[in-house]
Structure 1
Amino acid sequence: MASDRDPGLADGGRHPGHVPQRDHGLRPDAHGVRIKAHAAGGWIATMSLTRRKAATGLALLGGFTAFGRPVAARVPPVPRHAPAEPALALTVIPNLITRMAVQVMIGDAGPYRFVVDTGAGRTSISGELAAELGLAPGPPVIVHSILDSEVTPTARAPSLSVADIHARDLVMPVFSRARLGVDGLLGLDVLDDRRLVFDILGEELHITPTGSRHLQAPRSRLGVSDEAEVLRGQRWFGGLTMIQGRADRAQVSAVLDTGAQYSIGNRALYNSIAVRRPATIQRAMPLTLYGVAGQPMQGDLATLNELQLGGVRITSLPILFADLHVFDLWGAQETPTLLMGADIMGLFSRIILDFGSNQVTFHTASRIRPRIPL
């Protein structure tokens, strides 16, 4: 469905708590990520990153997403220190860590595999599937990715069904299956006012009505734990979920994007951290990001001492910083903002996004195996 603000264009997007310091255990995992459990439900995750790991693992950087109103991409010059080594070069490709697919029916055909993308405002379909189904073409739309925007063809679906959702007359941007990696992406236009349960350890995704305390699945019954960390979210720019936290003592607005492989902060966050904890920025490594079409953008890779989300603390966390097109789109150039991707979300055992109640719930487990290919 086109944006009410910009007809014919792709719609919508793609308080810290105290943590006791008494340690109750250290559990290393195969990736060198350490999870420390603390009293009162708080916990700490520790990550490590070397330059070699950055050059290999972080080559899988970003995600695809479909955003709303058109804005001109802006890449202002950013003063930076002279690099001691050549800058890294990273290519933006879809998230490969926590992509979870659901079975979707289009009309009477299917099921087909669509990946849930909480950073995408529009549901998208592969050109191959659209051709196979003989879907009628729709009007071209402008689709915004994290680095730029492009004019994209669309296809009209008379109906789309997933779980208890039945959407009609969808106009979906069309991309190649090679670019999407699946038959399609399920965006916020379909998922609005639903509750998503990302069972990361179990590698399952469940979609239920908002406010559900339990969900039924063929092999499991998952409940909401009273010990989980529940944060109040805000709806932002076309339905995106934003929560508040602190990154190296700097207040930050974090947007959850299951379509992004790695987390990226804007320059406002970079500069705020530089004032509060300059040592973090002094150790940053310059790099160049390349989009799917090969467009370059300058950025920096830094390791945060700490990211705090309510009672959760994640330490030694590698974060990319760049003036992404999407930050301009959100009007967040001057607000410290973090696009929170799968590298952070993969540290939890389960994440629940309830769009109806604007709540985000983070669950941890006694054994967490972060799938971070560093």
Structure 2
Amino acid sequence: MIIPLFVALALAVAAPVVGQGVPKIAPAVIDNNLEVVGDPLAADQVKTRMFIAVDVNGHGPYRFLVDSGADRSVVGVGLAEQLALPEGRAVKLQGMAGSARVATVRIDALRLGASTIANIAAPALPERYLGAQGIVGIDALVDQRLLLDFDKKTIIVQDARRPEPVSGGDEIVVVAHRRNGQLILTAASVAGFPIYAVIDTGSEVTMGNLALQARVFGTRRPPPSRPVVLTSVTGQTLTANLATLPSIKIGGLDLAGVNVAFADAPPFRLFGLEKSPALLIGTDVLEVFRRVALDFRGRRVRFTLRRGG
């Protein structure tokens, strides 16, 4: 049985890095000095993905998906036409299931809470594939701290240049590495094997590459799995094999029996991770935590444990 699933995208215009080797996994760095404060924005959840209300060029609010796996912010074609956003040059867009050449539009000001991001060249895609009126990507988050609260269903966006207060509690803070704009975690492992992990808030499905599948299950005997069809916001589809990993460890917390869709997805090549065991961690795993905070400027990710967890 083929099960259709929706996946947003790891979205970029740049081509994959060629001839640049992946460095050895460095020891994880734990940092307990990160806090996110600011005005909470009401967030809706379709299953587990998080949406916020944003203003575009002073109009709105509009419902945008927050996607930490997307290099570029995206606007829906219908919204772009409604606001008469000026067209830009066409770009080659790399999505979860493949690449496509799409038109861009210019956004003068994208407002998220108290933060405003200026001069964004946003690809325009049909709303039926986005599941929203647009996507907030890393180009709008690079100088921000982003807090996703899965209990309260709120998102807080704060200028990361503001001082961050020290906080305590049941929290694990991991220092990440930046690659192609993404926060790459090394404080992660699967079945005892160190891996790379990318936080992808735009996907409801956690994905693993074929290098991870071979490392955990071996190459001769594939794991028990079932096919799933993943649909990217570009409208393209990718067939993956859904299997259960025995355990995933993130920053010291063990998660058992995690379902992962394995495929040779283009984002792994884009991030230079196709030959190293790696995961794109979706909101199906992130919702295990009470809160997840991403500091793109400070290159840190905070995981807040659920009480009693």
**TM (normalized to structure 1)?**
0.68
Question: What CA distance in whole angstroms lies between the structure 1 residues aligned with 2:104 and 2:204?
Answer: 25
User: How far is 1:65 from its partner?
Assistant: 4.0
8 Å CA contact 1:233–1:358 kept in 2: the answer is yes
Whether 1:120 aligns to 2:70 is yes
8 Å CA contact 2:145–2:293 kept in 1: the answer is yes
SS, match of residue 332 in structure 1: coil
Whether 1:323 aligns to 2:280 is no
- Equivalent residue in structure 1 for 2:224, among 284, 296, 304: 284
Partner of 1:131: 81
Whether 1:149 aligns to 2:103 is no
Taking structure 1 as reference, are residues 64 and 333 closer, same or farther at Cα in structure 2, changes over 3 Å only?
closer
Identical-pair percentage:
27
User: How far is 1:297 from its partner?
Assistant: 4.7
Partner of 2:252: 311
User: How far is 1:209 from its partner?
Assistant: 2.5
SS, match of residue 318 in structure 1: strand
The range that moved more, 204-213 or 316-325, is: 204-213
SS, match of residue 269 in structure 2: helix
Partner of 2:7: 62
Equivalent residue letter for 1:284: P
| Deviations 1:123-162 (CA, angstroms, capped at 9, x unpaired) | 1111111111111111111111111000011111222222
Question: What CA distance in whole angstroms lies between the structure 2 residues aligned with 1:136 and 1:260?
Answer: 29
Taking structure 1 as reference, are residues 225 and 137 closer, same or farther at Cα in structure 2, changes over 3 Å only?
same
Question: What CA distance in whole angstroms lies between the structure 1 residues aligned with 2:152 and 2:164?
Answer: 19
Question: What CA distance in whole angstroms lies between the structure 1 residues aligned with 2:133 and 2:236?
Answer: 26
- Equivalent residue in structure 2 for 1:202, among 141, 144, 152: 152
1:1-374 aligned at under 5 Å gives the runs: 59-70=4-15, 96-210=46-160, 213=164, 224-237=167-180, 239-244=181-186, 245-275=188-218, 282-287=222-227, 289=229, 291=231, 297-366=238-307
8 Å CA contact 2:129–2:235 kept in 1: the answer is no
User: How far is 1:290 from its partner?
Assistant: 5.1
8 Å CA contact 1:213–1:224 kept in 2: the answer is no
8 Å CA contact 1:286–1:298 kept in 2: the answer is no
Taking structure 1 as reference, are residues 128 and 322 closer, same or farther at Cα in structure 2, changes over 3 Å only?
same
8 Å CA contact 2:54–2:110 kept in 1: the answer is yes
SS, match of residue 333 in structure 1: coil
CA RMSD, 1 decimal: 2.6
User: How far is 1:109 from its partner?
Assistant: 1.7
8 Å CA contact 1:246–1:307 kept in 2: the answer is yes
Unaligned runs of 5+ in 1: 1-54, 73-94, 215-222, 369-374
Unaligned runs of 5+ in 2: 18-44
Equivalent residue letter for 1:190: A
Question: What CA distance in whole angstroms lies between the structure 2 residues aligned with 1:268 and 1:120?
Answer: 22
SS, match of residue 136 in structure 1: coil
- Greater radius of gyration (CA): 1
Equivalent residue letter for 2:15: P
| Deviations 1:107-130 (CA, angstroms, capped at 9, x unpaired) | 222222222110111111111111
8 Å CA contact 1:96–1:261 kept in 2: the answer is no
Question: What CA distance in whole angstroms lies between the structure 2 residues aligned with 1:101 and 1:289?
Answer: 23
8 Å CA contact 1:117–1:187 kept in 2: the answer is yes
Question: What CA distance in whole angstroms lies between the structure 2 residues aligned with 1:158 and 1:183?
Answer: 17
8 Å CA contact 1:97–1:346 kept in 2: the answer is no
SS, match of residue 64 in structure 1: coil
Equivalent residue letter for 1:299: A
Question: What CA distance in whole angstroms lies between the structure 2 residues aligned with 1:129 and 1:61?
Answer: 21
User: How far is 1:344 from its partner?
Assistant: 0.5
Question: What CA distance in whole angstroms lies between the structure 1 residues aligned with 2:4 and 2:231?
Answer: 11
Question: What CA distance in whole angstroms lies between the structure 1 residues aligned with 2:170 and 2:275?
Answer: 35
Aligned residues: 279
